[in-house]
Copies of this chain bind each other. A is one copy, B any other.
Amino acid sequence: MTDPSRPPICVLGLGLIGGSLLRAAARAGRAGFGYNRSAEGAAAARAAGFDADTDLDAVLRRAAEEYALVVLATPATTLDDLLPVVARLAPECVLTDVVSVKESVADAVARLHPGARYVGGHPMAGTSQSGWAATDPDLFDGAMWMVTTEDGTDPDDWLTVAALARDCGAQVVPAANDAHDRAVAAISHLPHLTADATAAVGAGESGLALRLAAGSFRDGTRVAGTAPALQRAMLEANRIALLNTLSETIDRLTVARDELRDRGSVEIIVDDGHRARLAYDVMASTPAPPIVDVEPGEQGWAAEMRRQAHLGHTWQR
């Protein structure tokens, strides 16, 4: 192994994200193998030429032998069962995850694998599909991949996780766990709830309404098609941040209703929404500036990275 930040990867859970990650890493020439609970999923991965097994103990023993980077890619609800096994069989491996909410995963790791060399991660990519059949080696190309960057984060382990994100085609967004969780509540979890509500109201109106539904309904409710168990695991794990953002949304819609009822106007909500979408369009259509003038391990590196990330910069090395 010539590059210490690029060990083999061991992916636990070969669904949409975990399976795509194994394929994306292989595309970049990284060695890797995986575990999947269901025999069907493991067989599908093997049929596609990947090294996949349903024997968790065997997979983790091999990870320990190869000093692999272990990637938790199973639903958040499974971590309480999984982490003690990782702690027992692969305690020295660098550990990351691709689970949405970061504070709850960090809490579980601290509780069940307290000595872990853990650096959290969250690739901002996905579809409403799930399972190995939906995996795509290009899923992360150009995506943002949050990597936990706290004042106590080990810089070598951070570089190991960041290299995985880069090898998968993503840009690295350094962030503290709590800031990440508030951000994804606003731009990922809330959109699931508004999509769910919009879908339910639209479908409840009439068969005529569903027949007339076009682009605004199709796009606005797309993520309501995500498997309910996945939506619930993601949203319920981020309860506090989601409550805040949901309350703000209810407040905005209530003001809009009152304005529409009393003045016949939707000016405020439309103007605010339009301005916000334009701000997003500008950011999405502009290449992210690279994080510069800071190296992992330098004095204050984590705080400086977070500062630049808050300006919209990303780690691109």
Contact = CB atoms under 8 A, between A and B. Distances in A.
Contacts of A218: 280, 284
Contact of A212 (B146, B206, B245, B281): B146
Contact of A280 (B124, B202, B275): B202
A253 B249 contact: yes
Interface in A182-196: 182-188, 190-196
Contacts of A127: 215
Contacts of A215: 125-127, 222-223
A243 B257 CA distance: 6
Interface string A144-178: 10100000000000000000000000000101000
B195 A280 contact: no
Nearest to A127: B215
Secondary structure type dominating chain A contacts: helix
B224 A276 contact: yes
A293 interface: no
A250 interface: yes
Interface string A191-229: 111111111111111111111111111111111111110
B225 A223 contact: no
Interface residues of A, number: 102
30 contacts: A124-B212, A124-B213, A127-B215, A173-B211, A175-B208, A182-B205, A183-B212, A186-B202, A187-B210, A187-B216, A188-B213, A188-B214, A191-B220, A191-B221, A193-B266, A196-B270, A196-B272, A197-B256, A199-B274, A200-B276, A202-B280, A203-B280, A204-B276, A207-B283, A207-B311, A211-B283, A221-B273, A221-B277, A231-B274, A236-B266
Interface string A245-273: 11111101110110011001111011111
Interface string A228-248: 100110011001001101111
Nearest to A269: B196
Given A196-B269, A261-B243, A266-B235, A190 B212 contact: no
Contacts of A256: 193, 196-197, 246
A158 to B, nearest CB: 17
A193 to B, nearest CB: 6
A273 B197 contact: yes
Contact of A217 (B125, B188, B214): B188
